[in-house]
A and B are shown apart, each in its own frame.
Chain A
Amino acid sequence: MTTYTVYKEQLPGLFEKWSKLYTLHVPAKLREGFYDLVPWKKDLEIAWDYDVAYNSAKRFVMPPHEALISYDRRTCEAAPVFEAPKQILFGMHPYDVKALNQLDQLMEGGSPDQNYIRRREATVVMAFEPLTVSSAAFWASVGAASVAHGYDLYWTKISPASFMVEVGSVRGEELLLMNGALLSSTAGDKEGARRAKARILAKARKNSLRYNWEETPRLLAKCWDSPLWRRYSQMCLACGSCNTVCPTCYCFDIREESDDQLDTGVRYREWDGCMLESFAKVAGNHNFRPKAQDRYRHRYFRKGKYIYDKIGELGCVGCGRCVRACTAAIANPLKVFNELWEETAHEY
């Protein structure tokens, strides 16, 4: 593992260089308690201690509205549309990198999604060890406190003015060394990084599942008929906010837009959400998930079982975004899973 120690005063120079080659996104405060990744510009204050970016990183690799093909109705010809801006996502927390790794697996498996893959390949991920934990987050208890891959560089703040940077890819190292050689991290720096990680992990463990997260699929398998689904979903507004902010929700609709002569146009995909009422509706108006309860349960099964059965990880990384976004205060995977656990505890 190659690690370098980087000092804060070296950053503006690096950011300057990178921003000429890539669109550089960094965490910034939009207003009190509200953060997001925004394009870097000179003198922008980086929110090192942000708790969670209110948008997840999926928008960078799978934008809310993305052209897939262009067509000409007159000739019936169609061609793929690819757009893959070169971008650096600086300051992503590990749970978000984990979510991105999950999207990678799902979009690359089976029929590889070329639009996704191209964007992902043009995206440099610079992870950052969190300094603050969102009050709604529980990532430490769902196996998302750390990631082993998926980043080009991993930054850990080890003193008020310095970082230890772990190299995750050749591309990452080249970017890091663009302004010349850097010092290799000393044993002391590495120890500092280890402590920083331990510190944040202790904070993050305050919100925890009451059981080992790997039990979730087995737990859900017993809970299809739980009264919980109805209890919570009866307040659901079917707004899809939880889907929108979720870093691992990737369902989409396919639509198209023509010019005013209806001759040429673009077919695009647009974020869709399984919580929206018409999500499973087919021609003739038959809805395969007509009730809020069906849709609510489906989402939790996807997060806790279906994705797990496919790739061996929970489909929830514990970022807590849905908890904050839900107007009806019913989206809360931690609460849902813990309550289901209690409901069935006598069976263990």
Chain B
Amino acid sequence: MSTKLFSPYVPRPVTLVEKTQLSDFVTRFTFEQDNGKPLAHKPGQFVNLSIYGIGEAPFSISSPPRRTKITFEIAVRRIGAVTSALHALEPGTKVGIRGPYGSSFPVMKFVGKDVLIVAGGLGYIPLRSLLFYQLRHRDEFGRIVLMVGTRDPKERIFVDEIAELAKSGEVEVMETVDVPDSTWKGNVGVITTLLPKVELDPANTFVAMVGPPIMYRFVIAECRKKGIASEQIFVSLERKMKCGLGKCGHCQINELNTCIDGPVFCYTDIEAYQEAI
């Protein structure tokens, strides 16, 4: 067993330093890289996380790129074997990661433009990386409009953070839930119902969206209705990325490998692929 031999399948160790419960099923995990280096990812990329003895699964990076800190965050819904095992870990535990992998949101293209961020359900998790990167360079962007849609109020995540953002005035925040309860005073309806409520300058607005598979088609249609061109729309698509190297075949969208060609795609580049949206 020589560690000098190289293989792209070998993870490196990171240590869990903090765990924050966000909702009944969703928890934020902060890790520190054992190699003492920043993760050096770009907004929209993912890592493959290993819990030895259980398995490996891909997770979007939720924190913005950090130049000096060696921590990074993911936020995860407890739903399968790896995510359940992850939820059971205590700070101080080590896990393995590979990556960061995949494409990212083209932040340089967004400079000087208005940006509409559409987050459906857990979609806020990867978009947070983009959003906080932009906030660090707030002067370089125009308006930042954040739309957040959740199934019901109980499933909302990053509630305080989003409220802070709204209060700060740096971000125009619009929220909705599909199914309200007695505590909910805000918008009701799927996330597409928020789009007609906002004035956008279509020529000057870029869109970044992440959400459940069903969401894209409808939000894209609303954006196109507003006159936003396909080239200005960026989506991040979920598939079953197993190897992260474009080999294992699980994440294919027609001939594209989501793990290396995606997960972030410009809508123009996938419009013709029947399996994409």
Contact = CB atoms under 8 A, between A and B. Distances in A.
Given A78-B96, A255-B55, A282 B240 contact: yes
A95 interface: no
B20 to A, nearest CB: 21
Contacts, number: 135
A76 B52 contact: yes
Interface residues of A, number: 53
A260 B141 CA distance: 55
Contact of B248 (A76, A253, A256, A282): A253
Contacts of B246: 110-111
Contacts of B274: 224
A70 interface: yes
Contact of A72 (B2, B52, B249, B254): B52
B243 A306 contact: no
A154 B274 CA distance: 43
Contacts of A267: 9, 50, 56
A256 B57 CA distance: 12
B239 interface: yes
Contacts of A262: 53
Interface stretch (A121-129, A167-175, A206-214, A273-281): A273-281
Contacts of B55: 254-256
Given A110-B246, A283-B83, A256 B53 contact: yes
A327 B80 CA distance: 33
Given A78-B11, A80-B10, A110-B260, A280 B254 contact: no
Nearest to A288: B239
Given A76-B96, A288-B239, A252 B249 contact: yes
Interface residues of B, number: 45
B250 A73 contact: no
B1 A79 contact: yes
Contacts of B50: 71, 78, 267
A115 to B, nearest CB: 7
A105 to B, nearest CB: 12
A270 to B, nearest CB: 10
A113 B245 CA distance: 9
Interface string B53-69: 11111000000000000
Interface string A111-144: 1111100000000000000000000000000000
Contacts of A294: 275
Interface in A265-299: 265, 267, 269, 272, 274, 279-284, 286, 288-289, 294, 298
A231 interface: no
Given A80-B10, A115-B7, A107 B247 contact: yes
Contacts of A82: 5, 7
Contacts of A69: 7, 9-11
Contact of A284 (B7, B10, B79, B254): B79
A117 to B, nearest CB: 10
A289 B253 CA distance: 10
Contacts of B95: 76
A265 B89 CA distance: 19
Most chain-A CB neighbours within 10 Å: which of B8, B247, B248? B247
B13 A77 contact: yes
Nearest to A269: B248
Given A78-B96, A79-B1, A282-B239, A274 B8 contact: no
Given A113-B247, A279-B250, A298-B275, 4 more contacts: A113-B245, A114-B8, A283-B80, A294-B275
30 contacts: A68-B7, A71-B52, A72-B52, A76-B94, A76-B96, A78-B50, A78-B52, A79-B1, A110-B247, A113-B245, A113-B247, A251-B250, A252-B247, A254-B55, A254-B243, A254-B248, A255-B55, A256-B52, A256-B56, A267-B9, A272-B249, A279-B249, A279-B250, A280-B240, A283-B57, A283-B80, A284-B79, A288-B239, A302-B252, A306-B255
